[in-house]
Amino acid sequence: MAHPVPSAPKRTPLPSAIGGHVAPGVHPPVSQLPTVEEISAGGVVVERADGELRVAIIARLNRGGRLEWCLPKGHPENHENHQEAAVREIEEETGISGKILAPLGSIDYWFTVSGHRVHKTVHHFLLRATGGELTIENDPDHEAVDVAWVKLADLPKRLSFPNERRIADLAREVLPQVL
């Protein structure tokens, strides 16, 4: 007699602050390494150019030297809240200032570096560009190696990480409600 194979636990999407859903992060098995919690904020900054919406994204080199295109983000400084950190980080990493239109939810993920595990949570927001010029010259950490405007329709093909592609999809759904 065959025994049923247990199924994997279902990963239910989490509701975002605006009603969309973002899948929870996958949590690896517990490790003997110490764990550090990190918080970042950033998001999707859009502008209309030539009748089309476009988004400012940045490129970084990963530890292996591979170029990865991603949404701008960074750690809150001093007593900044998530929204203030997102606006500042986007402007530092892309050169584009923006105004928050809506929250897009959060993603979390795990990685290991220098003998410890990091559990990172990133809070994302949708912003309308209000000024500035594309540049990486104002990035104090010099993490960004390139910056580009990408048509909103092309964004899923350009972003390197599936969790950020889900945030971009959510932004596309919300934009008609806030623009």
Percent of the chain past pLDDT 70, that is, above it, reads 83
pLDDT higher at 28 or 177? 177
pLDDT for residue 102 is more than 70: yes
Domain extents in the chain:
34-178
Structurally, at CATH architecture level, domain 34-178 sits in Alpha-Beta Complex (3.90)
In this structure, what are the phi and psi dihedrals at residue 82, rounded to the nearest 5 degrees? Answer: -60, -40
Residue 153 pLDDT grade (very low, low, confident, very high; cuts 50, 70, 90): very high
How far lies 150's CA from each of 47, 57, 71, 73, 171, in Å? 10, 7, 11, 17, 14
pLDDT for residue 37 is more than 90: yes
pLDDT for residue 20 is more than 70: no
Mean pLDDT of 11-22: 47
pLDDT value at residue 25? 55
